[in-house]
Copies of this chain bind each other. A is one copy, B any other.
Amino acid sequence: MATPSLLPVVLAADNFPACAAYPSHHPDTGEVYVPFHIAPADHAARLSPVGLLRPAVLAALDGDAAFVSHRAGNAVECVTFAPDVLAGGRQAMDKAIADTAARWRAAGLFTPALAGWRDELYAIYASPRSAAFATPPRGGWRNAAFACERAACAVWGFATFGVHMTAYEGEGGSMKIWVPRRSPTKATWPGMLDNTVAGGITAGMTPRDTMIKECDEEASLPASLVEARLRNVGLATYWYITKAGFLQPEVEYLYDLPLPPRDSADYVLPRPHDDEVESFHLMTVPEVIEALHRGEFKPNCGIILVDFLIRHSLITPENEPDYIEICWHMRRRLGVGMPA
């Protein structure tokens, strides 16, 4: 169904031009980020870049025949694919990104990021007006320009996309939330608390399909129950930067799963299925808030639980002094390529 976009409705109220797209440098360290574009024309047209390159990555790309650094005087203004890669289209771009990442990994470069190699491809989005597309694609994630190994995205500063779901029982004061503890053997954030079900969106999957698949894989929640009760409730976007300084702009599509009453025929208990989750616990809202304050949740699960508690009237302007600042932080304009 091709629904006409409601963006004009939103722009009627938020009608001051949006400014300040991507960060050009780190405000504290001064480290400069160079935009990575598909083609020089995209940079000239001031389109959003597909990624942001740190100085070390810029240096590692020097001499790589698949990429061109465009200079203005001494400074690199942007990096793009080389003309022959562009001429080869999507397949050639996929290969250029894959070959370069593989070479870096073999050379032991960017270890903190590339050590988590997953053999999982993520779609990287260019502006619909990019030279990558003969005609501007519209909707349905058709402006994916190429793919990149999940673990390498942070090296290029590519945005990644995921889904997060909160399953809960009851409402208001009696609400309880299903919280898993991550397996102690997981490569990232072992042993920490997590959202009920979450996962990354691999190339070619929609958010909703990813969510339904992960519900089965991570929590043994049957597709029939999830499809009937899953509610899409918004978005969290945030700029995460790793301790080593890698940029990980992230978009999480958010879902609620209100579970049926315990005494109903279709009640289902979330339980671990694959080896990602150690155990599930049903926590009260005060218990969740305490665990958040103690830093027991994986960081991006914290941001998403806070969004959940705001939407469910459990964090309010009256009980949270930083209400407005919090709301802004969970909807950061990322300024790099997005589905559109």
Listed in ascending order, the chain A residues whose CB lies under 8 Å from chain B are 1, 3-7, 9-20, 23, 26-28, 138-140, 206-208, 231-235, 237-241, 247, 251, 253, 289, 292-293, 295, 297, 299-300, 302-303, 306, 310-313, 315-333, 338-340
B339 touches A14 (CB 8 A): no
A239 touches B15 (CB 8 A): yes
Bound: A234/B317 CA distance, A? 9
Bound: A14/B320 CA distance, A? 18
A329 to chain B, nearest CB (A): 4
Supply 16 further A-B pairs (C-beta < 8 A) apart from A9-B295, A12-B302, A208-B318: A4-B293, A5-B321, A5-B322, A6-B320, A10-B306, A11-B329, A12-B295, A14-B330, A19-B27, A138-B321, A206-B318, A231-B313, A234-B327, A237-B327, A322-B340, A324-B340
- Residue pairs across A and B with Cβ atoms less than 8 A apart, 28 shown, are A3-B321, A5-B326, A6-B289, A6-B292, A6-B306, A6-B315, A9-B302, A10-B326, A10-B329, A13-B238, A13-B299, A13-B300, A14-B238, A14-B240, A14-B332, A15-B240, A16-B247, A19-B27, A206-B317, A208-B318, A232-B313, A233-B313, A235-B310, A235-B324, A251-B324, A253-B317, A311-B311, A325-B338
Nearest B residue to A241, CB-CB:
B16
When distances are taken between beta carbons in the complex, the residues of chain B under 8 Å from A18 are 328-329, 332
Q: With A311-B233, A317-B206, A324-B338 in contact, do A23 and B14 touch (Cβ < 8 Å)?
A: no
Bound: A6/B302 CA distance, A? 9
Bound: A28/B17 CA distance, A? 8
Contact of A239 among B16, B140, B247, B316 (CB under 8 A): B16
Nearest B residue to A239, CB-CB:
B16
A247 to chain B, nearest CB (A): 7
When distances are taken between beta carbons in the complex, the residues of chain B under 8 Å from A20 are 19-20
